[in-house]
Structure 1
Amino acid sequence: ASMSPDMLNSLREDLIKVISKYIDIDEAALEFDLCQDEKDVALVANIPVIKMKRDYAAKG
């Protein structure tokens, strides 16, 4: 399963937007890729966490 560069970029932006609601991340160092073996496709992400956001950390 391949994705166009535009779709990958949109996915990246959406992931950053959602994750940033809960934690501060290093957006410049964020890495993700689609990996495929014979039968499965996986979204693999490396998202460096700077800190948890207080509002959400207190609710957990």
Structure 2
Amino acid sequence: SRPQAVKKMWEYIREHNLQSETDKRVLRCDAKLKELCDGQDEVSAFSINKYTQKCF
């Protein structure tokens, strides 16, 4: 389900330390997240739902 996908994404983000140190609302995209986030280097944490919609 979509809520489970978002939860797993947050687990991945935390495991790989992809939140900005200065602003936890900013996510730094590694290669895997870039695929999901249209090639962006950084995205807002609030936009995660928008990007996961593509998977459902």
Q: Aligning the two structures, in what range does the TM-score lie when normalised by the shorter sequence?
A: 0.3 to 0.5
- Using the size of structure 1 for normalisation, the TM-score is 0.34
- Using the size of structure 2 for normalisation, the TM-score is 0.35
Between Structure 1 and Structure 2, the one with more helix by share is 2
Pick the structure with greater CA Rg: 1
